[in-house]
Chain A
């Protein structure tokens, strides 16, 4: 492991990679601060640029964007009570009241230190857990992988559906259907191309991500007459107050950080869960942990209440890398985008990644730590100024998002069919968003579609067409049982609340 860490440090500490982490954190913070535009959009916009670099640098850049976006989301939660990303909603519960008491600078500092601590501790957990899990996952067979993918898709549908599980499952199926367009990987038989040569290689992953996130979000902002930059104009440079944290506050933070980092990391590792659930759970649990007089302060500017979700959401971000790096199966929409980008580089993440491409495996883990340091020393003092940058009118912001989306597709294929296809998918996605059809399940399904078919093919061929492979192995049966539990729980919840 020491050798791996050194390889990771060597790669991550090159001038180019440090610069990429800085750029990623800075860009991610800006996008993350804009309500409605989350880490997935930020990463999607970055993908075409990453193809100009080697895989390690590309992934380091995307990881920087990811943390930056989560950190940026916290800033808008604290200063504006307008969470930039769902994972920072719980931050606003105590961060915004603190800002209203004239302690915005302090709240930002607590958030930054908590994020730093949460991310750092989680990177350490990842450092020790990922190689061991990689070894364990070498024993996984095709039926286990197939069952695991079903579990991941069901879980993301369950967690991102806001009580609309069937809608989310429809999006999963749609994502798998889109992934089935093009040549069959084994027989080279073309499917669903309707004799169109442009579809022979299938639909590009970047195209689907850009269409369903970046472009569709830009169109939704215009359609709903939202102005994500309006709130940023209210930020006053002079009213932030001191960013110093006193001894008593530090003591409170030190109590909260270790326990909530573990909660965040575990939730992050679970497929489909992620930063949002981690932050809410950590907030709720922390409220039960603290003394009664501290409990009273929750929702009114509590240090514990701000530290808990901030630590947990960053720990969850690192935790989300565990299934991606060790199993090759992303647990969240954001890591699904990263998986798609890695596949674009010709790299298949999974248990063998840290043997075949140790520089990627370890440099990503190391760059997480570097990213946290950069977020702390670079972004914290710059936050008010970054907020000012966001005051750019939406009349400029929206065309620029569209520009980056279309350019991203154009430089990859140099044909206008892909541009039309992207516009078509974006228009459909915008319309579906209006009716609460979630997009992350579609992306995860699209990314996993090929792998899922491949593993189902192997499993069915090995079992001579019998579906008994789903319970022949204990591990497969356990994963399947967990999936059934999630579906059963969703059905129970649906009938209980009659929100089908």
Chain B
């Protein structure tokens, strides 16, 4: 059997399905539902078996149409940095507030993607986020919690 990344993904999916199936069997159902034709664990159990079936098929059947990805040409560094910035964004948004976090997230993303025109970067972050906040908060009436703007008295 030729081992390639698709097979590895299929193997991971097979393991995931097995874990899902195990967890499905552990779902606690009411005593009177235990022997019912359908209860809360019935559908997940079918899904677990379906996952095992399809990933198992993908694993054992030959794969002549292998997809080759040139990892050397992929931009892992920038992608990783963007993901990291997004995680930091998620970690700080509740404490710092939407306006500052989002503006810095945009500034950081522009910078790490190679942009150096600071005025344009600024215009497409702080004023842009402020305008978007106005659209959401002021026009569409979608509440946005922002401790920073509340502290400086811009938001109620």
Which residue numbers of A lie inside 8 Å of B, CB to CB?
Answer: 48-49, 51-53, 163-164, 166-167, 169-170, 173-174, 176-177, 180, 184, 186-187, 189, 191-192, 219, 222-225, 393-396, 398-400, 402-403, 406-407, 410-411, 414-416, 419-420, 423, 427, 430, 432, 434-437, 452-453, 456-457, 460-461, 463-465, 498-500
Contacts and interface: CB of A to CB of B under 8 A. Distances in A.
A170 B51 contact: yes
Interface string B21-60: 0011001111001001111111110010011001101100
Contacts of A402: 82, 86, 105, 109
A167 B65 contact: no
A189 B78 CA distance: 42
Contacts of B144: 411
Instruction: Describe B's contact surface by its main secondary structure.
Output: helix
Contacts of B57: 166, 500
A427 to B, nearest CB: 6
A398 to B, nearest CB: 6
B93 A416 contact: yes
B37 A460 contact: yes
Contact of A432 (B9, B24, B43, B47): B9
B37 A464 contact: yes
B149 to A, nearest CB: 15
A273 to B, nearest CB: 22
A185 to B, nearest CB: 9
Contacts of A498: 62, 64
Nearest to A192: B23
A423 B65 contact: no
In order of increasing CB-CB distance, the 3 nearest A-B pairs are A465-B37, A52-B140, A399-B109
Contacts of A400: 106, 124
Interface in B96-118: 98, 102, 105-106, 109-110, 113-115
Contacts of B109: 398-399, 402-403
Contacts of A427: 83
A407 B102 CA distance: 9
B90 A419 contact: yes
A345 B28 CA distance: 31
Given A420-B87, A463-B37, 17 more contacts: A166-B58, A170-B58, A173-B47, A173-B51, A176-B50, A177-B47, A180-B47, A219-B79, A219-B82, A222-B113, A223-B74, A398-B109, A399-B106, A403-B105, A403-B109, A414-B145, A434-B67
Contacts of A224: 73-75
A166 B58 CA distance: 7
Nearest to A434: B69
B122 to A, nearest CB: 12
Contact of B40 (A191, A403, A414, A456): A191
Contacts of B43: 180, 452-453, 456-457
A14 to B, nearest CB: 17
Most chain B CB atoms below 10 A, which of A395, A398, A499:
A395
Contact of A406 (B61, B64, B89): B89
Instruction: Describe A's contact surface by its main secondary structure.
Output: helix
B94 interface: yes
Interface in B63-85: 63-65, 67, 69, 73-76, 78-79, 82-83
A51 B54 contact: no
B38 to A, nearest CB: 5
Contacts of A500: 57-58, 61-65
B39 to A, nearest CB: 7
Given A170-B55, A411-B136, A434-B69, A419 B9 contact: no
B86 A419 contact: yes
Contacts of B87: 420, 423
A447 B90 CA distance: 26
A91 B43 CA distance: 43
Contacts of A396: 110, 115, 124
Contacts of B78: 222
B26 to A, nearest CB: 10
B13 to A, nearest CB: 6
B73 A225 contact: yes
21 contacts: A52-B140, A52-B141, A52-B142, A169-B54, A170-B10, A170-B54, A170-B58, A176-B47, A177-B20, A180-B43, A184-B40, A187-B33, A224-B73, A394-B113, A398-B109, A403-B105, A410-B98, A437-B9, A456-B42, A460-B42, A500-B63
Nearest to B68: A435
B148 to A, nearest CB: 15
Interface in B106-139: 106, 109-110, 113-115, 124, 132, 136, 139
B82 A222 contact: yes
Contacts of B5: 435
Contacts of A407: 98, 102, 132
Contacts of B50: 173, 176
A75 to B, nearest CB: 25
A419 B93 contact: yes
